[in-house]
């Protein structure tokens, strides 16, 4: 019993990270029909900047705030210079290459800054493990899925009840029509990239005490987050949350009952299988194209 509980709790913590990353992809795709493949690296930016600002003597809250803001600025810049120039032509995939390249540059820069070492981000949340039904988990880990749920709910509220949120949905539906209705498409798309990166940087700070901040911390998380978004159907925020959490838990059970080496094999096989059966993802709406 305690073993199963352990896998579920550990899985929810990891799954919460996947969900947070995938949520960022969802936000970008929802407005721009393009994503920032360096999104995993916004986690690195958030975590490493916080540690550097802390080391420079800033208080924790201010360091976090500045790092998150820097993440937001980064996302906006990526949209302006690596996505918008390419996404203007339909069918262009230049933005993929450009954002992947930016991700590699960030990893290289972070490696130079850290000498390749992982750095700790001190947090009271990882000082002592707590026991739940015989399973051990750090309070910080319990916080991660909780934040993922709150972020999903918050996003829904923004999309439903704010002008910007509705504008995002309108653009996703039909860019040209939205533009004709007086929506500043470029500004809203830039905003959505900024919002996604804000979330990414915050997620990086949230998970750094558990996973340690390093130049490569975001690489696999970015990939897994994207896989989760695709499995869920990138157009559905609640779907992304559910699949993210589930994906983490499944991974732990595979590690527990088969082997660690089998984890990625089973995980990515599942992704391909889901795409074969439901190309639009488990929760995604089938996109109807009128000719």
Partner 1 sequence: MNIITNKTSQLIYGSSFAVATLLLSSPSLAATDAQQPCIGNSAAITGPAAFSGQAIRTGAEIAIEEINQQGGVLGEELRLIQYDDAGAPPRAVDNTRRIALADNCIAILGGYHSTAAVAQVEPVHAIGIPYIGVWAANTSVVENGRDPNFMFRVSAKDKWVARFLVEEALKVSPTGKIAFFYENTGWGNGALPDVNAAMSEAGVALVAAETFNWNDQDMTPQVMRARDAGAEVVIVWALDREGNQLLRSMDRVGYMPTMIGAWGISGNLGELAGPLANGVRVMQTYSFMGQQSELGESVLARLKADYGIDDPREIRAGSGIANAYDAVHILADAIEIAGSYDWEAVRQALYEVNRDGLIASYRPAFDASDPERQDALLPEHYLLTAWHDGVLIPFAGSPYDTGD
Residues that bind partner 1 (CB under 8 A): 3, 6-7, 10, 13-14, 17, 111-112, 115-120, 126, 129, 131, 135-138, 207, 210-212, 214-217, 219-220, 252, 255-256, 259-261
C-beta of 194 vs 204, nearer to partner 1:
204
Give the residues across from 130 on adjacent strands. 137
CB 204, min distance to partner 1, A? 13
DSSP state of 80: I
Q: In the numeric block, which tokens belong to residue 121? A: 């981000």
C-beta of 267 vs 284, nearer to partner 1:
267
CB 229, min distance to partner 1, A? 19
C-beta of 43 vs 191, nearer to partner 1:
43
C-beta of 186 vs 212, nearer to partner 1:
212
CB 212, min distance to partner 1, A? 6
CB 217, min distance to partner 1, A? 7
């Amino acid at each position: 019993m305690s073993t199963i509980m352990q896998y579920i709790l550990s899985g929810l913590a990891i799954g919460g990270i996947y969900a947070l990353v995938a949520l960022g992809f969802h936000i970008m795709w929802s407005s721009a029909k393009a994503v920032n493949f360096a999104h995993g690296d916004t986690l690195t930016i958030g975590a490493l900047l916080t540690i550097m600002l802390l080391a420079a003597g800033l208080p924790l809250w201010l360091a976090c705030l500045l790092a998150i803001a820097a993440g937001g600025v980064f996302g906006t810049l990526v949209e302006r210079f690596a996505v918008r120039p390419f996404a203007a032509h339909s069918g262009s995939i230049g933005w993929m290459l450009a954002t992947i390249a930016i991700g590699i540059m960030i990893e290289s820069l972070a490696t130079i800054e850290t000498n390749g070492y992982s750095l700790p981000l001190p947090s009271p949340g990882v000082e002592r493990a707590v026991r739940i039904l015989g399973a051990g988990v750090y309070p910080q880990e319990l916080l991660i899925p909780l934040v993922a749920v709150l972020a999903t709910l918050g996003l829904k509220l923004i999309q439903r009840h704010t002008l910007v949120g509705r504008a995002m949905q309108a653009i996703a539906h039909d860019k040209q029509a939205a533009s004709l209705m007086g929506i500043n498409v470029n500004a809203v798309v830039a905003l959505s990239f900024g919002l996604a990166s804000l979330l990414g940087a915050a997620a990086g700070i949230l998970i750094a005490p558990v996973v340690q901040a390093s130049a490569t911390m975001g690489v696999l998380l970015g990939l897994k987050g994207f896989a989760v978004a695709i499995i869920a159907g990138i157009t559905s925020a609640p779907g992304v949350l559910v699949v993210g959490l589930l994906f983490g838990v499944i991974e732990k059970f595979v590690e527990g009952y088969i082997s660690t080496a089998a984890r990625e094999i089973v995980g990515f096989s599942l992704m391909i299988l889901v795409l074969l059966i439901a190309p639009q993802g488990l929760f995604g709406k089938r996109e109807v194209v009128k000719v």
